[in-house]
Amino acid sequence: MPDSTDSKLVLESRLEEVNRAEAAVLDTLEACGFDAADRFAIKLALEEALANAIKHGNDSDETKSVTVEWTAAPGEVRIIVTDEGPGFTPDDVPDPTLDENLTKPSGRGVMLMRAYMDEVSFNDAGNKVTLIKRPSNAAAGRD
Amino acid sequence: MGAEHLSIDIEDRDPSTVLIHLRGEADGAYAEHLHESLFPVLDRDPMRVVLNLADLEFINSLGLGALIHFHNELASRGATLALAAATEAVLEVLQKMRLHELFTMFDDADSALSG
């Protein structure tokens, strides 16, 4: 059975906290077979999830926190980001790649998560997102 | 992944052209700093702005938003924004969001400056 690491961080609702969380997550991926492109993808999806949780979920209210939990093992990293907000409906987010939305400065976070992760799922309320990524080089994930 | 964050160098190439060189990673809170650094360039009344992305290793949606907002403001003034020398990873982000169709893209800064 592959070794795995279960970790958790609680963040304040400030964007400055994003770098602290991603450093902690990326540090645990060193021995899990993710190449540079995979780590870029994980960093990006995690940043999008955290920015959404901080800015939209918690409305940047520093009295509210964002929880990041992750499990890293050879062959898969699973990251769960939870905020204290009321949630949202991901399917209601307009497609930012439509012509009429290209010049809008915001609205790309959910699509970026889905573009770069193997699996993205939200709880019913929409205030918890689970991101799953497997190594692009499948051989790296084998024992 | 490197720990270097974002640095921005701004150069007046001629009275109507500004070259901006982004280095590092537009991540976390630094992506919002990108917005704060770009907008003062508008005070120079450029007709053309070139962003050299050769050393930009990462950009998130907040950074993309800063570029789009800057593009929109330049366009409203009749000015153009060109992106040059995007790395493979950053170019892929732009392409997945169809932003390579919004921005004028060049393979290198010299081409963007003469184009």
Helix axes A36-51, B88-96, angle to 10 degrees: 50
Residue B2 has pLDDT above 50, yes or no: no
The rounded mean pLDDT for chain B is 93
ipTM more than 0.85?
yes
pLDDT in the model for residue B88: 97
Taking residues B23-52, report their average pLDDT. 92
pLDDT per position as a tens digit, B40-79? 999 999 999 999 999 999 999 999 999 999 999 999 999 9
Q: What confidence score (pLDDT) does residue A11 get?
A: 96
pLDDT grade for B3, boundaries at 50, 70 and 90: very low
C-alpha A120, offset from chain centre: 9
B27, B32, B97 member nearest A19 (Cβ):
B27
CA distance A95 to B98: 11
Q: Which pLDDT value is given to residue B115?
A: 77
CB atoms within 10 A of CB A25: 19
Q: Report the chain B residue with the minimal C-alpha distance to residue A20.
A: B28
Mean pLDDT for each 10-residue chunk of chain A (143 residues)?
76 93 90 90 97 95 96 94 96 96 96 98 97 81 43
Among candidates B60, B99, B102 on the partner chain, residue whose Cβ is nearest the Cβ of A44: B60
Closest CB to A105 among B29, B58, B68: B68
pTM over 0.90: yes
Name residues whose C-beta falls within 8 Å of residue A108's C-beta, 6 or more positions apart in sequence: A48, A96, B61, B64, B65, B97
What is the nearest CA distance from A1 to chain B, expressed in angstroms?
28
Hey, are the CB atoms on A26 and B96 less than 8 Å from each other?
Answer: no
